[in-house]
Structure 1
Amino acid sequence: MKHVITPVGTSLFTNGSKTNRNIQNSYERIEDKQHSEWDNNSTYIERLRSISNEFISENTISATAELQSTAIIKDKIEDRIIVYLLASDTISSRLAAEILRDRINDPNSVLGENVTAHFEPENDVIGNLQVNNTVNFSREGMPNLFQRINDIKDWKAGGGQNLAINITGGYGATLPYLTIFAQLEDVPLYYNFEDQDELITIPQVPLAIDSNLMDRHAGVLAQIADRIDDSLRWRAFKSQNKSAVRELDAFIWEDNDLGAELSPMGNIFWNDYLKSHFIVKLPSFMNRAANDEVIRELYERLNRALCPSYLTPDSCYQRLRELGHNDDLNHTGQVRGQDIFIFKSTDQDQVRLMYSFVVNGRTITQITIFDRRGHIETEQYIIWKNEFENLPEMNFETYTFDI
């Protein structure tokens, strides 16, 4: 079975507008409207839905770029296909996706029973994926798009080997990023020129970023990935890390008023880097060399306990709570009211670490350490844990471990 991610454009309505004045008039009513205005435009939406379905019935596969390209992909793959339709943050893209989903899933679909479509507006309308605001597109839209693609890859397709991306529809502005993502993930890209039956498969080429660059500046990248959302802090950070910021220029989005974060390109390569590394945030008062070994032990124990079945945030925390207070990963129970736990090391000093962690997809990507203690009596835990019920302000050093 192949899982084909298909960004949805508006070719259904633009094609229909060429020959049908009713489609043109209705489409013009919603063409430039954001998805947030959906409920206020129900009359126009339902009118356009009805006449667009008539247009598809008359023109079948040639009615839209998404239908035509899916039909050609089906013939090429010769296997069952699930089409994941992803809409931009607009009324027209969501409406097109809903119409396509219903037509593909119709028992009498021209694509046949081996092709099904999936579209849930609450998950598959990609927030801020729109071109009216380039800042929101870069800061929110592209990260949201890749988060959804990764969710489908990890939780639906079972990995990139079962995934493909159909880039025939959707925003042209996303194509460079989708291409790089697909190359890194070894995912095939399909494209179909309108009015032609030929399918272009974009070939895989060796693509990798300089690993030394990533290793050298991983701590800087990790901090920028968390967003430096204050212009004064960003100027100070940039001054302290001049060389790194200069070398990482293509990976950084910055604004004189808003601060800085990873660019869409930076997000792609950073997430790829985290497949083989995890981030550690350590309080600046703690010595890294004295803690590396026990932190690696913590990571390996967490990985064994949680992978691959529990790697969503809620299920991870619930899993640790279910281990009970005597388990080393949840020693004496979590810090009350917070997803912070105590790890008891198996080394001879029985070091305790107070920690939290972050998961992304099926990977533990970050461990944050709040404090470290040597062997202490059980009653002392109560005092120690109470100190952290309201976390104090801390300064952290950030670095990465290879997995």
Structure 2
Amino acid sequence: MNKTILTTVGTSLISNWKETNNYGLTDEIREQLRELEKCSFFENSGTTADSYINYVKGEYGERGILQLLIEYLNAKSNCAEISSITAIEKELRKSLKEGEELTLTIHLLCTDTILSPLCAEVIAGYLRRKGYTVAFEEVAENATIIEKIKDHNFSSAHIIKNLNLKKYSEQGLLNLIEKIKIITSTAGSENTLLNITGGYKALIPPITILAQLYHLSIYYLYEDSSEIIHLPPMPVGFDWEIIEKYTILLFNENKRNNIKYLKDVEEMRELNLVFKDNTKLTPLGIILSEYLKDKASPLTGTIMGYFVEYKLYKYYQTKFDCNKVKHSVKTKDGGDIDLVIKPNETSKIGIEVKPASVLENTYDSWTHLLAHFPSRVKSLENINEIWLILYGESENSVNVETVMQLKERFDMNIDFKCKFLKIQKSKQSQERHIYQDFFKSDIKDSQLIDIILT
């Protein structure tokens, strides 16, 4: 059995050491530790940390803070990270089959501080001596992480930039999420465990939500307890009906600052997706935006797209003779045009159907459309009118400037139009989801809105 354990690293090692009032601890070292707490790993210019760096390396002989921590940990084996990893291993061994072996790879994820990487270096060394495989980045021979800080030329892959309790950082949480996703993609979600015992307790709620969405097991060891708490993946997810209308705003802070979206932003605040006093995303909003990058909503999914095309196909068959409306017309380059309408002998309309979120280019889908749709249209004869039909909850999500990029790809003699298919639940509907309402009813004229292009 191969398992990868992602362990967040705090400073419990230092806290426990300070409680002993032993193992070389002095009032002077306590003061230096307080000063080091103020330093960021990536952002300090060196002037703050430089004054105290020798106390870490050992200004007097070899027994600086780093060496004293190593001696303390070797004697006591007492910190949250090691206790929890040991408890997880014990729990995993209970499920081994006869003759099966357990192989663990430990990733130590540090905050953007100096003390967290310092503790991680000591913990990594201890775990390696105990036979564990630790993926925390090894530094050059005869150099410590703290020495690298002093030289300002070290950027560890396992130190999460901007993840610092002193100030909230949207980027810090994004960096942590990205690191977890990268490691998980290699190890596999079924083999990746999140150990959230150490580190900032404020990270527990967002990491717990993230783990559930990405089907990761969570482990937590409460203080001095000997029993590890295991929270396995559960069948939970976001309610697409609620979040669909906010998709574009989640990816675009400029739009969140636009007065046109004030009502939607206020609703996002009520859902705890945006902070109360600004338009920055909350941890929940960040997780949702990252999740949407990986897991397209039903409205952006291929199956939903086909269904909307079919609905429009039926709708236009009622407006024109049935034989004048074609669905999924193949082009010479191997692609297709979603709908082609031939009202008369001299007119032919090519229609492309896309979710409104395509304009945000979240999945590079708008870039792909710009590159390929015009050439597909040109491969069909006598197309003299193009309609781009976007669908979603609100026509406010349509960025006219972005749509114009597509219009400019066509010859001046082609009449380019943009329409918006509004998918909403009617006030009289008893259905819980807008999609149920949409599936059961025919498209009405009032749902198709002309977007003015200037």
TM-score bracket for this pair, using the shorter chain length = 0.5 to 0.7
Q: 1:146 aligns with which of 171, 174, 177?
A: 177
TM superposition shift of 1:94: 1.1
Q: How big is each residue's C-alpha offset from its partner over 1:29-67, in whole Å with a ceiling of 9 and x where there is no partner?
A: 1332222446513212221110111111212xx321111
**2:209 maps to amino acid:** I
TM superposition shift of 1:192: 1.4
TM superposition shift of 1:86: 1.0
Secondary structure in structure 2 of the residue aligned to 1:125: coil
**1:194 maps to amino acid:** E
Q: Distance in 1 between matches of 2:280 and 2:353?
A: 27
Tell me the matched-pair count.
296
Residues 4 and 107 of structure 2 are in contact (CA less than 8 Å); yes or no, is this contact kept in structure 1? yes
1:4 equivalent in alignment to 2:25: no
Normalising by structure 1, what TM-score? 0.63
Structure 2 residue aligned with 1:269 = 288
Secondary structure in structure 1 of the residue aligned to 2:156: helix
Structure 1 residue aligned with 2:24 = 22
For the structure 1 residues 329 and 221, does the alpha-carbon distance in structure 2 shift closer, same or farther, using more than 3 Å as the test?
closer
Structure 2 residue aligned with 1:64 = 79
TM superposition shift of 1:235: 5.6
For the structure 1 residues 374 and 145, does the alpha-carbon distance in structure 2 shift closer, same or farther, using more than 3 Å as the test?
closer
For the structure 1 residues 185 and 27, does the alpha-carbon distance in structure 2 shift closer, same or farther, using more than 3 Å as the test?
farther
The runs of at least 4 consecutive aligned structure 1 residues that moved more than 4 Å come to 293-296, 372-376
Structure 2 residue aligned with 1:104 = 127
Secondary structure in structure 1 of the residue aligned to 2:254: coil
**1:253 maps to amino acid:** F
Matches of residues 41-190 of structure 1 in structure 2 within 5 Å?
A: 41-46=52-57, 47-59=64-76, 62-78=77-93, 79-105=102-128, 109-110=129-130, 112-113=131-132, 115-119=133-137, 121-133=155-167, 136-137=168-169, 139-154=170-185, 156-157=186-187, 159-190=188-219
For the structure 1 residues 374 and 180, does the alpha-carbon distance in structure 2 shift closer, same or farther, using more than 3 Å as the test?
closer
Query: RMSD over aligned Cα, in angstroms?
Result: 3.7
For the structure 1 residues 329 and 90, does the alpha-carbon distance in structure 2 shift closer, same or farther, using more than 3 Å as the test?
closer
1:33 equivalent in alignment to 2:43: no
Normalising by structure 2, what TM-score? 0.56
**2:32 maps to amino acid:** R
Residues 8 and 170 of structure 1 are in contact (CA less than 8 Å); yes or no, is this contact kept in structure 2? yes
Task: Structure 2 unaligned segments of length 5 or more: list them.
Answer: 58-63, 94-101, 139-154, 301-349, 381-401, 412-419, 423-454
For the structure 1 residues 374 and 269, does the alpha-carbon distance in structure 2 shift closer, same or farther, using more than 3 Å as the test?
closer
TM superposition shift of 1:349: 2.4
TM superposition shift of 1:151: 2.1
Q: Percent identity?
A: 25
Structure 2 residue aligned with 1:228 = 254
Residues 11 and 65 of structure 1 are in contact (CA less than 8 Å); yes or no, is this contact kept in structure 2? yes
**1:145 maps to amino acid:** L
Instruction: Determine which structure has greater relative contact order: mean sequence separation of CA pairs < 8 Å that are 6+ residues apart, divided by chain length.
Output: 1
1:253 equivalent in alignment to 2:253: no
Q: Distance in 1 between matches of 2:354 and 2:166?
A: 49
Task: Structure 1 unaligned segments of length 5 or more: list them.
Answer: 281-288, 304-327, 331-340, 352-367, 377-396
For the structure 1 residues 30 and 371, does the alpha-carbon distance in structure 2 shift closer, same or farther, using more than 3 Å as the test?
farther
Query: Which has the larger Rg?
Result: 2
TM superposition shift of 1:5: 1.0
